[in-house]
């Protein structure tokens, strides 16, 4: 069994501020270690559940948080290739499962003090009217390649929402967002739960494939600043839908993520 683990940091147990999540932040170092510890627990569980080949993608910030020494027995994907699948950039149809670790609630949710969707440019991302988190986008893209998403850890609100739409998903809520704070689960309990549920996710019979919404798909984005929406409307096929919104209708999840990736860079 070949599994792909995509790892973020804003859903790692107890993280509560950007000073802890970004390499230039004064409190980053211990949270990088914590991220590695939670990914290691998921790798152990996946292997105990039958995974024979484990790939881990560092999918946070500059994607250089995890070091090869953190995961010496995994294939480690670091840095951004430029592939539009972004947080699952090296996933293809040879994988049997996707596991997401340390994920977080989307903009504009209050589920995490660090809630956002991909970048600070987007105030809200919707597909066919439904608000999408980074997890939703990754799971849909994976499903379009025939790869089921079997495991998710992250903030409580994200896990609860994902469980509703993915009934087979093993989830590990790491903390609950309350205003600008989090209420974290005890670290030892999280560590055990990550390993246990990753093992269950990989050892159970494969669930019936959950098919993502079929094309055509309409991507609608509300931008944090109207000037970003102005530029977005020039993307091929896109249209302006208001002073701070733009949308585009596409024929696949890859095309959808491609549009999103180009819009992502409007602020740079
Ligand atoms: Zn992140």
Full DSSP string of 198-247 = HHHHHHSPPPPPPPPPPSSEEEEEEESSHHHHHHHTTSTT-EEEETTEEE
Which pTM was predicted?
0.95
pLDDT in tens, 145-181: 999 999 999 999 999 999 998 888 999 999 999 999 9
The answer to whether 13 and 30 have CB atoms below 8 angstroms apart is: no
Q: Where are the domains of the chain?
A: 2-115+134-203
**Which region holds residue 129: left if phi is over 0, alpha if psi is between -120 and 50, else beta?**
left
| Ligand 1 ion: residues within 5 Å (CB) | 8, 10, 60
Helix (H) or strand (E) holding 157: helix 156-165
- How much distance in Å is there from the Cα of 2 to the middle of ligand 1? 24
Share of the chain above pLDDT 90, in %: 90
pLDDT in tens, 118-132: 988 999 999 999 999
The arithmetic mean of pLDDT across residues 204-219, rounded, is: 75
Q: What band does 6 get if pLDDT is binned at 50, 70 and 90?
A: very high
The answer to whether 156 and 183 have CB atoms below 8 angstroms apart is: no
Q: Does the pLDDT at position 59 exceed 90?
A: yes
- How much distance in Å is there from the Cα of 119 to the middle of ligand 1? 9
Structure token pair of residue 54: 């484990």
Cα–Cα nearest to 220, from 247, 243, 239: 247
Q: Which residue has the tokens 């970048």?
A: 119
Domain 2-115+134-203: give its CATH architecture.
3-Layer(aba) Sandwich (3.40)
- How much distance in Å is there from the Cα of 11 to the middle of ligand 1? 8
- How much distance in Å is there from the Cα of 233 to the middle of ligand 1? 26
């Amino acid at each position: 069994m070949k599994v792909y683990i995509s790892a973020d940091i804003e859903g790692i147990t107890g993280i509560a501020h950007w000073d802890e999540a970004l390499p230039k932040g004064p409190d980053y170092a211990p949270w990088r270690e914590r991220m590695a510890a939670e990914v290691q627990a998921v790798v152990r569980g996946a292997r105990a559940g039958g995974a024979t080949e484990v790939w881990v993608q560092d999918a946070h910030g500059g994607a250089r948080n995890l070091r090869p020494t953190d995961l010496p027995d995994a294939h480690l994907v670091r840095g951004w290739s430029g592939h539009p699948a972004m947080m699952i950039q090296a996933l293809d149809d040879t994988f049997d499962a996707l596991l997401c670790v340390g994920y977080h609630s989307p903009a504009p949710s209050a589920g995490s003090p660090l809630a956002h969707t991909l970048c600070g440019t987007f105030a809200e991302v919707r597909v066919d009217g439904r608000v999408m988190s980074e997890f939703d986008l990754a799971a849909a893209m994976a499903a379009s390649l025939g790869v089921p998403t079997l495991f998710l850890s992250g903030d409580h609100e994200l896990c609860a929402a994902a469980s509703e739409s993915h009934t087979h998903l093993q989830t590990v809520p790491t903390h609950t967002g309350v205003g600008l704070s989090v209420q974290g689960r005890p670290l030892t309990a999280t560590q055990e739960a990550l390993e246990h549920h990753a093992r269950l996710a990989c050892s159970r019979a494969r669930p019936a494939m959950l098919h993502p919404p079929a094309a055509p798909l309409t991507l609608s984005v509300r931008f944090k600043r109207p000037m970003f929406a102005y530029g977005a409307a020039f993307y091929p096929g896109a249209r302006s839908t208001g002073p701070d919104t733009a949308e585009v209708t596409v024929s696949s999840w890859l095309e959808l993520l491609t549009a999103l990736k180009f819009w992502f860079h409007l602020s740079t």
